[in-house]
Structure 1
Amino acid sequence: MSAYETIIGLEVHVQLNTKTKIFCACATSFGEEANKNVCPTCLGLPGALPVLNREVVKKAISFGTAINANINQSSVFARKNYFYPDLPKAYQISQFEIPIVGQGAIEIEVNGEQKIIGVTRAHMEEDAGKNIHESHYSKVDLNRACTPLLEIVSEPDMRSSDEAIAYLKKLHSIVRFLGISDANMQEGSFRCDANVSIRPKGDSKLYTRVEIKNLNSFKFIQKAIEYEVERQIEAWEAGKYKSEVVQETRLFDTAKGTTRSMRGKEEAADYRYFPDPDLLPVFIDETLMREGREIPEMPDEKRARYVREFGIKVSDASVLTGDLEMALYFEDMLRLGASAKGAVTWLTIELLGRLKGENTLQNCGVDSATLATLVQRIDEGKISGKSAKEILDVLVQNRGGDVDKLIVEMGLEQVSDDGAILAAVEEVLKANVEKVAEYKSGKDKLLGFFVGQVMKNAKGVNPAKVNELLKEKLK
C-alpha cells in the first residue's frame, strides 16, 4: 500500500434539530407511527406549496460561522430530479449552484500532527422518506420526508481512513457544540457518503472515485474505506483497474466487511437541476445574519481555555472537548468544587475506564455532582486514592449512590488526627534508631521506609499527614 496514495472526500448529511420540517409545519419527532407526521406538502400532492423554515437558515449560518466559511447572503433552492419510492415528488428540493455556505475549513489532529481539511460547501435540503423491507414486500414511511438536512461536502484532502475519522469526529463535535443537531448516528441524524480513489504516489492525477453510501458508524466508515482502498489497489496490481473500478455507488456490508455495487453514480447533469419555481431566492437580512453568527464556544476554543485557565495538558483538554457531554460534565464538576487536576483524572481515566459495553457517561448513574464529591473528599484527605477507587467501583456497579454514606459504610475514612498519627510516628522511629541515624546522615530515601512502617502499623491514616509529621520529627 505504501506505493499508493489514498484520496478521500466526504459528504455528510446532518439532520437539523428544528421542531418542524424544512418546508411545512409537520413535526420532526423520531420514532412515531409510520406516516403520522405528513401533510400535502411533504407528501408532494399537487397544489401544495413549500414555505421555508427560518430556523433552518439560522442553523446553517451558525455552522458556516463555526468553520470560518463564506456565507452567501443570497442563495437559491433547486430541484434535484430523480425517482425513488420514498421520494413522493420524484425530485428533492436542494441547493446547487449557490449554496448558503461556501468554502470553509476544519482543523484535525492525527498522530500528533495538525492538518487543515477544506470544506467545499454546505447546503440546505430536504430528506427523503424511508423504505422498510420485509420478507415478501416493502413499505414506505414518509415521516422523515421533508426533514431539514445540512449537507456538508469536504474537499478531497484526506489521505487515510484515520484522517477521515478524525474529520468526522471533529465535525460531529462542532454540530453538537453548536446545538444545531443531536447528530445521533443510530437514528440517521448524522450519516456519511465516502468518495474514495487511489493513485500511485507522486502522481497528481485524480482517478476513478467510488462512492460508499449511507454510512452511520465511525467504525464501519473506517472499515468501508479501508476495504475499498484495498480492493482498488488489488485491481490496479492485477491490471484490472479500468474494468473493476468504475464510477459507481457502493454499499458496505457490515456482516461481511466488504463493499458491493449498488448502482452507477449519477453526475450533476443526470439530476437535471433547475431553480425551484415555488421558492424565491433566500435573502438573509442583517437581523438573521446576526442571530446565526451568535454561536457558543467551539471545541478548539474550549480546549485552549482549559489549558490556559486550568493548567491541564493539551491531550487531556482534547479528550474533554471531544464530546459535548464530557465537556459539560467536567465544567459541572469544577462548578461544584472539584479541583481541575482531580476532575480530569477521575473523569477521563477512572470513570471512563470503568464504562464498558453499553454503559456511557449519560446512563452510568454516576452524575457530575457525585464524582465532584468523590474528588473533594480525596483533596480534603478524608479518603485515599485507593479507597476512592473502591467507592467508584461500587458507584458504577450500583449506578449511583451517596459518596459520604459509602465512606462510612465501607470504613474507608482516613485518620487525619495529628495526635494519633504522631503517636504511630514516634513508635516507628523508636523501633528503628539506626535507620533514623542513617537518614540524618544523608540517606533521604529512607523516608519512604518510615512512611511504609507507619502506614502498616496504623491502618487508615492519611499518607500526606504521615509524610508531614515524619519530616518534622526527623528534623
Structure 2
Amino acid sequence: MSTVDLVSFDDALATYDPVMGLEVHVELGTRTKMFCGCSTELGAAPNSQVCPTCLGLPGALPVVNATGVESAIKIGLALNCEIAEWCRFARKNYFYPDMPKNFQTSQYDEPIAFNGYLDVQLEDGEVFRVEIERAHMEEDTGKSTHVGGATGRIHGASHSLLDYNRAGIPLIEIVTKPIEGAGRRAPEVARAYVAELRELIRALGVSEARMEQGQMRCDVNLSLRPIGREKFGTRSETKNVNSLRSVERAVRYEIERHAAVLDEGGTIVQETRHFHEDDGTTTSGRVKEEAEDYRYFPEPDLVPVAPSREWVEELRAGLPELPRVRRARLQAEWGLSDKDMQAAVNAGAVDLIEATIAEGAPADQARKWWLGELSRTANETQRELAALPITPAQVARVSALVKEGKLNDKLARQVIDGVLKGEGEPDEVVEKRGLAVVSDEGALTTAVEEAIAANPGVAEKIRGGKVAAAGALVGAVMKATRGQADAARVKELILEKLGV
C-alpha cells in the first residue's frame, strides 16, 4: 500500500472509529543488568559487557536486580496502579539472533503493577484518561547491525553483526488498555500520552527516557471498526517508534492505511510494521504472534517477587512531585494563563524554561525565547525543542546581555542563530559578528542629527506635537546603525534634539 492509495484522514474518520493500544518500553537507569552484574554503561566496545548469565550459557543462574524492582514499583505507583503482593517471572520463548538465550525473561500473567491510569492534557486543555492494563519487568535484547544493504535492514544485507551489551538491560513495559473514544484526536492523544509518560519517568529518576537513544520506545497498536460497532477490528503493531512526532504520525498513517484496505473490501493482516521517519509511512514486518505462540512458562531459576506492603507504602511516600502537580506550581510561580502554560507544555518547553530561570533569566524572558525564536527553529528543522544545540545557560546569557543593554532583541536573535550554528558562547558570537549595541553617545547623536536633516518634514511634525512620527526617524537611525542602536535611547535623543 503506497501513500497514493491512502484514504484521507477526514474520510477515514467519517466511516471508522479508531482503537489504539500503546506499549511503551523504558530502559531503566540501573548500573547493572536485570539478572546479572554486567555494566549497563553506553558506548562500550561491542560484546565487552557480557557474562555467562546474560549470554545464556549452560549452568549460569540469574539474580533479580533489586533496584529494577524498586523502579518498577515506583512507576506503577505513579501510574495509579495496584502493586502485586506476589508476582513472578516467565520465559517468553522465541528464536532470534539478538536474543542469546532464545527466550526473554519477562512477566506474563502476573505483572508487578496493573489496573492503573494516566490523565493527559491535550493541546486545547482537555484532559483525556488513558487506562493502564499493566506495567511489567523484563530484559532488553541485543542489537543487530545489518551490513551491506541499502536500507540498514536485514533484507539485502550481506551479513549481520550482533552486540549483546544491551542484552539483559532492565526494561519496564507499560501497556495500555484499549484506548477508545479518541476519534479524530487519536494521533494527538497518542503523542500526549507518550509525552506525559516520558515526563513522569524522568520525574521519578528511574530513566532519562531519551527516545532518540532508544531508552524509551513505543509500539503503536491500531485497529479500525465501523462507527457504531462494538467489536474491535484487526490490529497492526508499528514497532519501536522513537519520537513523539513519529508516534503521532504513525497513528495517523495507520488510520489512513487501514481505511483504504477496508474500503476496498480487503482484510487487515495482524502483523508488525516498521515506521519510516523520512516520509512518515509504515511497511510490513512479520505476521504478529499471539501469546500462545511464545509458549510462556514460569521461570524456574527465579523465585517470585513479593514486595511487602510496608515497602510499597514507603516508596509511595517518597515519590517526587509528579508532572501535572509540578506544572500547576510552575504556572502559578511564573504568572501564566492556562493558555500560555499549555503552549509551553505543547512545545516541550517547561523543563527548558525552568532551567533557564534557574540560570538567572526572568520568567517572561525565558518563556519568550524558548516559545518564540527557538520554537520556530525547532519547527523549521523538525526537531524536538530540547534537541536544539543551545543550553538554558546560553539562553539566560542572551537574556542578560539584553537586560544589560548590550543587545537589543534583533541582535539577540542573531546571537542565538550563531550559537545554534556552533559559533561559540553568546559573548563569543557577539564579538565575532560585531553585534554589540552602539552605545557611543557621540555616534548616536551624529546618526540622529543626520536623520533629522534628511527628513525635515517629519521633524516639523514632531515639533508640532505629533510625537508618534518619531518612529520614522528611529527607523532611519536603526538602519544607519545596522540595527545596533538602542531604539529607546534613539527616540529620547530625537525628542531632545527637536525640543519636544
Q: Which TM-score band (shorter chain)?
A: 0.7 to 0.9
- Structure-2 separation of matches of 1:124 and 1:133: 28
Q: Distance in 1 between matches of 2:249 and 2:382?
A: 21
Superposed displacement of residue 201, structure 1: 1.1
Q: 1:306 to 1:464 in 2, by over 3 A?
A: farther
**1:144 counterpart residue number:** 166
1:312 equivalenced with 2:336 (yes/no)? yes
Residue 139 of structure 2: aligned partner: 126
1:451 and 1:3 map into 2 onto residues whose CA distance is 57
The sequence identity of aligned pairs, in percent, is 37
Q: Which deviates the most, 133-142 or 108-117?
A: 133-142
| Structure 2 counterpart of 1:17, from 29, 40, 49 | 29
Distance 1:40 1:312, change over 3 A: same
User: 1:101 aligns to what?
Assistant: 113
Deviations 1:10-54 (A, max 9, x none): 111111111110010011223433322211211222322211111
Stretches of structure 1 that go unaligned for 5 or more consecutive residues are 440-445
Distance 1:381 1:214 in 2: 49
- Whichever residue aligns with residue 207 of structure 1, its letter is G
Distance 1:363 1:97 in 2: 39
Distance, in Å, in 1 between the alignment partners of 2:17 and 2:387 is 42
Corresponding residue for 1:280? 303
3-state DSSP of counterpart to 2:303 = coil
Determine helix, strand or coil for the equivalent of 1:75.
coil
Secondary structure of 1:40's aligned partner: coil
* Aligned mate of 1:163, from 185, 189, 204: 189
Residue by residue, what CA displacement relative to the aligned partner does 1:86-138 show, whole Å, maximum 9, x if unpaired? 33333222112221221222223344132111111110011222334344444
Deviation at 1:148, TM superposition (A): 0.6
**Corresponding residue for 1:443?**
none
Aligned length: 463
AA aligned opposite 1:294: G
Q: Which residue of 2 aligns with 1:301?
A: 325
**Equivalent of 2:374 in 327, 345, 351:** 351
Shift of 1:436: 6.4
For residue 360 of structure 1, report the CA deviation from its aligned partner: 7.5
On the 8 A contact 1:365/1:399 being kept in 2, the answer is: no
Q: CA deviation at 1:4?
A: 0.9
Q: One-letter code of the match for 1:201? A: I
Question: CA offset at residue 62 of structure 1?
Answer: 2.2
Amino acid at match of 1:450: A
Task: State the distance in 1 between where 2:400 and 2:462 align.
Answer: 35
Residues 248-397 of structure 1 aligned to structure 2 (within 5 Å): 248-252=271-275, 257-267=281-291, 269-285=292-308, 286-287=310-311, 289-291=313-315, 294-318=318-342, 320=344, 326-354=349-377, 357=381, 366-397=390-421
1:391 CA displacement: 3.2
Q: Using the alignment, how far apart are the partners of 1:363 and 1:198 within structure 2?
A: 34
Range 458-467 or range 308-317, more displaced: 458-467
Structure 2 residue corresponding to 1:45, chosen from 26, 39, 57: 57
CA distance in structure 2 between the aligned counterparts of 1:452 and 1:407, rounded to whole angstroms: 29
Pick one of 227, 238, 241 that aligns with 2:264: 238
- Once the two structures are overlaid, the 10-residue window that deviates more, 59-68 or 279-288, is 279-288
1:206, 1:64 → 2: CA distance? 27
CA contact (8 A) 2:218 2:242 kept: yes
Q: Return the letter of the residue paired with 2:195.
A: K
- The Cα offsets for residues 156-212 of structure 1, whole Å up to 9 and x where unpaired, read as 215422322222222223223333223233443222222211111122221222223
After superposing the two structures, state which structure 1 stretch, 10-19 or 175-184, moved more: 175-184
Distance 1:48 1:371 in 2: 52
CA deviation vs aligned residue, 1:335-359 (integer Å, no higher than 9, x gap)? 3432111111123312343466598
Q: Scaled by the length of structure 2, what TM-score is found?
A: 0.78
Deviations 1:424-445 (A, max 9, x none): 79x98x9989756975xxxxxx
Q: Which residue of 2 aligns with 1:33?
A: 45
Q: Which residue of 1 aligns with 2:5?
A: none
Assess, with a 3 A threshold, how the Cα gap between structure 1 residues 212 and 316 changes in structure 2: closer, same or farther. same
Give ranges in structure 2 of 5+ residues lacking alignment. 1-11, 148-156
- For residue 369 of structure 1, report the CA deviation from its aligned partner: 3.2
**Contact 2:238 2:282 (C-alpha < 8 Å) held by counterparts:** no
